[in-house]
Amino acid sequence: MRRFSIAVVAAMTLGTGLSSVPAQAHPDSGLAHCTDGTCHFDVPPGTYDVRVTLGGNAASSTSVSGETRRSLLPETAVPAGERVTRSFTVNVRTPEGEPTGPDGAPGLDLRVGGTAPALAGLRVTPARHPRQILLVGDSTVCDQPGDPYSGWGQQLPQYLDRGVSVANYADSGESTVSYLGNPRLWATVRPQIRPGDLVLVQLAHNDKTTDEATYRANLETLVAGVRERGGQPVLVTPIVRRWFNPDGTLNNGTALLVNGLGVDHPAVTRAVAAARGVPLIDLTAKTKELVESLGVEGSKAVYLYNEARDNTHTSVRGATLYAGLVRDELVTRHLLPKGKVRVE
């Protein structure tokens, strides 16, 4: 494999536009890569550490996203005249979003946002021995290309510190059957798994016609494939759909992912995890609790009910909440150390 190294340092402030380069900045700094709040780095596929220095003369509030709308750094407030440094690790690949989608722009794209963005410094370097979290899932997990849609996997990177990257191979419309059968999906993901990597699997929403024996066997195939590569499989029960009973609880069928054949996907996933000794994130139970606590009206903003009468796919707010639940479970189940996650 060709060795590649890059170190880019930029100094910039974002408001209506970029400020002039400070006198101490090298004229060939990374500022030349930044235009109108977007910084593009012509790097090959791989994993990169990014260090940003935030702040300016005025009070600021800055967030960073990258590639296909991935949230990499939550909005961070900095008092006037002060500077803070934050770091994260980002996966760069082609396609950069959904595996069956368009390739996207080559290289690494970082977008600076927030209510009052100010970026004082930026450094991009190849990551050394990063821990990788690979995501296998459907449209509720994937890097959604267009607003207002967002999968929880798209929001997970903002909760992780430098040294842990998210490689989101979730894809819209996929079931356990189609994910295993499409060469752009499982056959592409499996070779990427390295010893010690976490592989989170959430597939159920599109297994509407999958019988129980097949669904169970498919989950077991995915678990075995991860372990054969030295990775750590983690089974994730599916997020709930927003379908309420008159009493304010979620419907036991549609909402809780029981298909037309009577297959209870969360129950089968729990059973496979128990039988195979696989860590389980019971996201069905966690999201059920959250949605029922918000109620019929409050939960609309978590999904895309207001925009599209959609009770399955999440908004950015909902995906961020659900990614936070996954983050908490990764720590609780000792799959990631506390020092590798952000809690703010």
Which residues in the chain show pLDDT less than 70? 1-32, 344
Residues 169 and 277 in one domain: yes
Assigned domain for 3 exists: no
Residues 37 and 140 in one domain: no
* 136 close to 203: Cβ distance less than 8 angstroms: yes
- The CA–CA distances, whole Å, from 193 to 67, 143, 225, 252 equal 21, 19, 9, 36
Residues 198 and 290 in one domain: yes
Q: Give the position of tokens 């368009």.
A: 102
Residues 34 and 104 in one domain: yes
Q: Give the per-residue pLDDT at 343.
A: 78
Assigned domain for 1 exists: no
Residues 58 and 151 in one domain: no
Residues 193 and 261 in one domain: yes
Through-space distance between the first and last CA atoms of the chain, rounded to whole angstroms: 38
Which residue range(s) make up the domain with 303? 131-340
Tell how strand 232-236 and strand 198-202 pair up: parallel
Q: Give the per-residue pLDDT at 258.
A: 97
- Label residue 46 exposed, middle or buried (CB < 10 Å: 0-12, 13-18, 19+): middle
Assigned domain for 206 exists: yes
Residues 106 and 225 in one domain: no
Domain closes at, from 90, 110, 126: 126
Asked if the peptide bond before residue 95 counts as cis, ω within 30 degrees of 0, the response is yes
**pTM, to two decimals:** 0.92
Assigned domain for 165 exists: yes
**Of 250, 284, 251, nearest in space to 267 by CA:** 284
Assigned domain for 314 exists: yes
Asked if the peptide bond before residue 148 counts as cis, ω within 30 degrees of 0, the response is yes
Assigned domain for 229 exists: yes
Angle, CA of 209, 252 and 331, to the nearest 5°: 90
The pLDDT tens digits for 196-238 are 999 999 999 999 999 999 999 999 999 999 999 999 999 999 9
Assigned domain for 311 exists: yes
Q: Give the per-residue pLDDT at 35.
A: 85
Domain closes at, from 86, 108, 126: 126
The pLDDT tens digits for 233-286 are 999 999 999 999 999 999 999 999 999 999 999 999 999 999 999 999 999 999
Alpha helix segments (H runs only) across 54-113: none
Q: Assign residue 238 the CATH number of its domain.
A: 3.40.50.1110
Residues 191 and 287 in one domain: yes
Residues 16 and 105 in one domain: yes
Residues 122 and 40 in one domain: yes
Q: Give the per-residue pLDDT at 34.
A: 80
Residues 82 and 210 in one domain: no
Q: Give the per-residue pLDDT at 108.
A: 96
At residue 209, what is the residue type? T
- Label residue 195 exposed, middle or buried (CB < 10 Å: 0-12, 13-18, 19+): exposed
Assigned domain for 151 exists: yes
The domain total for the chain is 2
Q: Assign residue 76 the CATH number of its domain.
A: 2.60.120
Domain closes at, from 64, 99, 126: 126
Residues 290 and 144 in one domain: yes
